[in-house]
Amino acid sequence: MIKVLFICHGNICRSPMAEFIFKDIVKKNEKDDMFVVESRATSSEELGNGIYYAAKEVLNRRGIPFDTNKYAQRLSKSEYENFDYLIYMDDWNLYGINKIISEDVYGKVHKLLAYAGLSRDVEDPWYSRNFDKAFEDIMLGCTKLYDFLLKNHN
């Protein structure tokens, strides 16, 4: 099993979108038995809150199923040991991850868009209000991450 954890600031927009986009890619490719996919936050600001309504709307419009009972959870230090890949959305998330895990000694922490050959962040739609752009970036990153994982774990 390849265990992937998507991470953003609050776990109500980008990381749950990535979780469900990636799960959809996996399901459509009939690789459900190969992956464990979840998402977390670096902050405690939104703990217990569900996926933000605008993120749900864009997932619905794009035909991506999601768990309506998903709620924000914070990354814990132990999850660094439990997951193979910790995938973050922006450099501020990396700062938050490092505060929690201390050090990425196993090289598990990666920026999502790096898998698409890009160094830029997935812009936070909470501030930009551009959930469609965030969706497109996340879809691109997740597609390339999926391809990378299949190529390197078969």
d(CA 11, CA 52): 9
* DSSP secondary structure letter of residue 81: H
Annotated catalytic residue: which of 8, 74, 137, 142?
8
| C-alpha torsion 32→35→41→42, nearest 10 | -170
Annotated catalytic residue: which of 14, 24, 40, 142?
14
Mark whether 14 is an active-site residue.
Answer: yes
Q: Helices H, strands E: what count in the chain?
A: 6, 4
Cα 141 from chain centroid (whole Å): 10
d(CA 16, CA 55): 8
Annotated catalytic residue: which of 24, 90, 121, 124?
124
- Residue in this structure with the two tokens 């924000």, named with its chain if needed: 72
* DSSP secondary structure letter of residue 71: B
Q: What are the beta bridge partners of residue 5? A: 38, 86
Q: Which residues are catalytic?
A: 8, 14, 124
